Structures are given as C-alpha cells and as structure tokens.
C-alpha cells in the first residue's frame, strides 16, 4: 500500500502551548497533531510538516500542515477522527489528499496574519488571551493611513528579531489593513512571507505611532532598515495566523 500525502487545515488557541514546535518537556501543537495522527491511523511514526512555526501564545485560524499516511480510512473522516483525540483547543477544520510533492512550507506562496488590539484602560475577561490591551489613547485614522506604507516590496530587516537566518529580508506585502471590529482594532497583513516577529514588530510600531510615542512615518522607518527606529514587539497573544495559500 502506498502512502498518501494529506493536507490539513488547523485552528488552535495557542494560550496553553509552547508554540507550534515541540520543546523538551512539551509536545507543542505539532506534537499534539502527530500524536493524534499516530493514534488515529495506527502509525508508528508520523512527521507533520507545518507551513511555518508559530511562537508560544500565538493562535491560528487556518494553519496548514501535511503528513504521509498509510490508511484506508476516507480522508473526509479525518477531521472528526482527529478532533476526537486532540485537546479541545486544537481543531482540524478540513483534510484532503494532495499531490505527493505538496509541501506545506515550500509550496506556500501567500500568508495572511491577523492581529487584535483591544484599546481600553480596563481589562476584558474575554480578550485577555486573544488580544493586546493598549491603555493609551490611539489616533486610529492616523494608524489607518500609516499602515498603507507597508504595501509593496520592501526590505523589512528593521522589522525582524534576531535569531533566524534568512537568505533575504525582502518581502512583499500585498495588503495591509487596519480597521475597527466591535470594540477591538484589527490589523490584517497579507504577504508572500514574513520574517521572524515581523508582524508583531509592525503592530508594535503602528501602536507607538498611534499613541504618539513615535513621531516618524512608517514610510521613513521602513526605508531606514533600522530595528531601533521601529517600535516595540507587540505581545504574542494578539496574533493569529489566518490562512496560507498555495
């Protein structure tokens, strides 16, 4: 029997996890999914390839991963079977068989991230693990205008945390939007790829601009390629990997 290549779409609340990747004493989202796959399909080993890692506390609405499996169970049944094994804060939304060459990371060509800001002096019992509470008054119109400077092809080396080795720090952002949704502010970024902590540094910078702590325009900060001129790194809990396109 030949192995099938299965693509899954996964949503998770990252609050209780060390991130996507396995750590010494913690399975991580990837480890939880591999455990569920091994158990569900009676496999000795399953290697799950994610579209990319997410850090501790970061969430996903539509993370993508793939794995090889040798089973007669029809793929339509995979989500239900896996969800019965997985913890309740991880959910497989869909599964399909894909070409054997499909690779969640290498084949990805577009990602969308969403970031939730909760602008309030008083904390919310509902948003504490899924939003970034900002206590300062924000100039939302200014933030809406400034965010547009991200669109296009730029060298984002000023918006990267150290600790990753990449061939190039040039990325293209297809869409950068900031809008109000209920009592929160949403930042949505769609691009061909993102550097380590890039979304969180962008959000931190736009918040610093919105509260007047940074006076420079985002346009100038991007051009400077200087991490010191960008703002703080916004916390993990506001960040959601929304979807990955192939």
d(CA 46, CA 20): 16
Query: Residue 155's beta-bridge partner residues?
Result: 170
In the residue annotation, 55 being an active-site residue is answered as yes
* Dihedral, CA of residue 154, residue 210, residue 200 and residue 146, to nearest 10: -20
- Among positions 14-73, residues that touch its own copies (CB under 8 A) are 59
Name the minimum Å distance from CB 24 to its own copies.
Answer: 24
d(CA 67, CA 46): 7
Number of residues engaging its own copies in binding (CB under 8 A): 20
* Stretch 113-152: interaction string toward its own copies, x if CB under 8 A: ---------xxxxx-x-x----------------------
8 Cβ contact partners less than 8 Å away, ≥ 6 residues apart: 33, 64, 65, 66, 67, 78, 79, 82, 92, 94, 95
Is residue 13 near its own copies by the rule CB under 8 A? yes
Which stretch in 62-70, 88-96, 137-145, 205-213 sits in contact with its own copies by CB under 8 A?
Answer: 88-96
150: which DSSP letter? G
Is residue 91 near its own copies by the rule CB under 8 A? yes
Using the minimum distance from each CB to its own copies, give the nearer residue, 23 or 84: 84
Is residue 109 near its own copies by the rule CB under 8 A? no
Among 24, 44, 72, 88, binds its own copies (CB under 8 A): 88
Is residue 96 near its own copies by the rule CB under 8 A? no
d(CA 56, CA 78): 26
Q: Which residues of this protein are in contact with its own copies, per CB under 8 A?
A: 11-13, 59, 79-80, 83, 88-93, 122-126, 128, 130
């Amino acid at each position: 029997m030949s192995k099938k290549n299965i693509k899954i779409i996964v949503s998770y609340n990252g609050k209780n996890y060390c991130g996507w990747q396995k750590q010494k004493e913690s399975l991580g989202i990837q480890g939880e999914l591999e455990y569920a796959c091994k158990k569900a399909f009676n496999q000795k080993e399953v290697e799950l390839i994610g579209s990319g890692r997410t850090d501790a506390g970061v969430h996903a609405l539509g993370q993508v991963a793939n794995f090889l499996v040798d089973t007669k169970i029809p793929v339509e049944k995979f989500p239900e079977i896996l969800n019965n094994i997985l913890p309740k804060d991880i959910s497989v939304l869909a599964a399909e068989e894909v070409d054997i060459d499909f690779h969640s990371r290498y084949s990805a060509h577009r990602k969308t991230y969403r970031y939730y800001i909760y602008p309030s002096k008083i904390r919310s019992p509902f948003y504490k693990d899924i939003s970034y509470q900002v206590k300062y008054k924000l100039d939302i119109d200014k933030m809406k205008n400034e965010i547009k400077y991200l669109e296009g092809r730029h060298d984002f080396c000023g918006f990267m945390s150290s600790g990753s080795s990449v061939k190039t720090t040039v990325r293209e952002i297809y869409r950068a939007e900031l809008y109000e949704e209920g009592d929160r502010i949403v930042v949505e970024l769609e691009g061909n790829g993102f550097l380590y902590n890039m979304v969180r540094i962008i959000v931190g910078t736009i918040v610093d601009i919105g509260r007047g702590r940074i006076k420079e325009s985002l346009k100038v900060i991007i051009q400077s390629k200087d991490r010191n001129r960008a703002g703080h790194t916004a916390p993990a809990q506001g960040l959601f990997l929304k979807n990955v396109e192939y």
